[in-house]
Amino acid sequence: MGEVRSIFGRPFLIDPDAAPGSPDAKWPDPPLGQNILTDHAIYHSREHFAREWNDLWARTWNIAGRESDAARPGDFFRFDLGPESFIVVRGEDGALRAFYNVCQHRGSQLVDEDFGRRRKLVCPFHSWCWKLDGRLERVTDRETFADAVVADEPPLAAARVATWGGFVFVNMDLHAAPLTDYLAELPGILDVYRPEDLVVVKDVSATWPINWKIGLDAFMEGYHAHMRHPELIRLIDDYHFQHDLFGRGHSRMIIPFARKSPRLPDPDALTPELGVLLAEAGLDPADFAGRAQDLRAPYIAARRAWGERYGLDFGRYSDSQVADDWNLNVFPNVTLNVHPEGILVMRFRPHASDPETCHYDVWVLARTSPVAGFRLPFYMDAPDADLSGQAPRPARRYIRHGEDGMGAVLDQDGAQLPLVQRGVRSRGFGGVRLGYQEIRLRHYYEEYHRYLPAR
């Protein structure tokens, strides 16, 4: 094991007794250096943006959507990434395929909908038609084309597609390592949550005036919580996150719930936010007045009882998995906030042409229960979600930057991050200086620069 640092005299260990190799165990911190990251042009340079497209995005596995959105033959969804667009479609043979969303005649995109169902893929411009497996079926008025022009029966251009945990991944590199290798340790950490069983209950997308990495960086650390999220630190211990660094740039931080920040005065005082957390778990906050340091064990027990009440199998989870937010980064651009009842997914996609604009997607994936009264806890920010298992998938909602819809905490970040985007352009900015609470960023950029070596 590497050195486990401590702050306020406490180690960064959620469970000091966790056996090596267990889900909660602290992973060793590799040597990552102490240099100041001076290449802040990566956040705004158009030249770097072009390099990034060819050397990072075109070579990595990217989360495109959910298998449930292409469950039946003919079901498809569209996935836009930078200047590219893909159609992920279920074929008549049951196979899932990904095609570039472009007609091989004159280049029109084939689909404009987010989701849909089709028996064929027909170009809306001149009606050329492809089967769901990408083979050409029809060239309209074929007799007017020279044989040499269409003799190759041009198929739709394909990208690689693979699935894990109900997520669909797309890769433009036909020779890339398999997804199972790319994900490294993540399946071993996440499989117990059975993410493939979750359903989409919230789907929101916004365009933010920031580079996509400015957004991603903020969700790989909790150092900013005391300034940006004052209500959050009244129910989580923002100073004692456990940070774990995995292969291929992936990482985790475990965010302790039911234990308020040591930055706050009067450690025994029960905050209103802790009261809500307890009440949702079925406890009476009045029983814990003046006992804020004694909440973890009763909260975990109550959470297990809550799960049993609604037919959710919490028995397979560790205490930390039951209580805490397991925040995982899936390289290069996705954060998963994982709980037994669901996952908050955040994805940052690059703009097609502007390095200082990105598309920020938020999904809430949830378990369902036939038991009346089942609702997601407030921290999932989907209070009106129908969790009966009978509700249709919600449509994707598009909102503007600054418009409510992401959730209170995420909207707070949205107000701050454009200030970072403007600041990193300053001549007066000497570079990014990272502390231990930001070790995941240092780990992330180690992997990032393997794809994009500094020049």
pLDDT in tens, 166-210: 999 999 999 999 999 999 999 999 999 999 999 999 999 999 999
The whole-number pLDDT of residue 21 equals 87
User: For residue range 272-306, what is the model confidence (pLDDT) as tens digits?
Assistant: 999 999 999 999 999 999 999 999 999 999 999 99
CA distances from 344 to 34, 169, 276, 370 (A): 32, 17, 20, 22
What is the side-by-side strand order in the sheet with 129-130? 121-122, 129-130, 136-138
User: For residue range 228-264, what is the model confidence (pLDDT) as tens digits?
Assistant: 999 999 999 999 999 999 999 999 999 999 999 999 9
Rounded-to-integer distance, Cα 203 and Cα 437, Å: 30
Cis peptide before 370 (omega within 30 of 0): no
| Entry pTM | 0.95
Delimiting residues of CATH 3.90.380.10 domain(s) in the chain? 6-55+185-451
pLDDT score of 6 more than 80: no
Rounded-to-integer distance, Cα 216 and Cα 350, Å: 11
User: Which of 33, 160, 40 is CA-nearest to residue 422?
Assistant: 40
Instruction: Please report which helix (H) or strand (E) contains residue 214, including its range.
Output: helix 212-218
The whole-number pLDDT of residue 454 equals 81
The whole-number pLDDT of residue 3 equals 38
Residues paired with 323 in a beta bridge: none
Q: Which two tokens stand for residue 342?
A: 């669901």
Rounded-to-integer distance, Cα 210 and Cα 332, Å: 16
User: For residue range 106-126, what is the model confidence (pLDDT) as tens digits?
Assistant: 999 999 999 999 999 999 999
Provide the percentage of residues in the chain whose pLDDT is more than 90.
91
Task: Report how far apart the first and last C-alpha atoms of the chain are (Å, whole number).
Answer: 34
Q: Which two tokens stand for residue 434?
A: 């990272």
CATH fold of the domain at 6-55+185-451? Naphthalene 1,2-dioxygenase Alpha Subunit; Chain A, domain 1 (3.90.380)
Interval 373-377 mean pLDDT = 97
User: Which of 176, 178, 215, 211 is CA-nearest to residue 56?
Assistant: 176
Interval 77-102 mean pLDDT = 99
Provide the percentage of residues in the chain whose pLDDT is more than 70.
98
pLDDT score of 153 more than 90: yes
Rounded-to-integer distance, Cα 444 and Cα 212, Å: 14
Phi/psi for 214 (5° steps) reads -60, -40
Cβ atoms of 152 and 133 within 8 Å: the answer is no
CATH fold of the domain at 62-179? Rieske Iron-sulfur Protein (2.102.10)
The whole-number pLDDT of residue 340 equals 98
Q: Which residue has the higher pLDDT, 29 or 106?
A: 106
pLDDT score of 371 more than 80: yes
CA distances from 142 to 102, 104, 151, 185 (A): 19, 14, 11, 51
The whole-number pLDDT of residue 333 equals 99
Cβ atoms of 238 and 325 within 8 Å: the answer is no
User: For residue range 124-134, what is the model confidence (pLDDT) as tens digits?
Assistant: 999 999 999 99
- Identify residue 18 by its one-letter amino acid code: A
Delimiting residues of CATH 2.102.10.10 domain(s) in the chain? 62-179
User: For residue range 380-411, what is the model confidence (pLDDT) as tens digits?
Assistant: 999 999 999 999 999 999 999 999 889 889 99
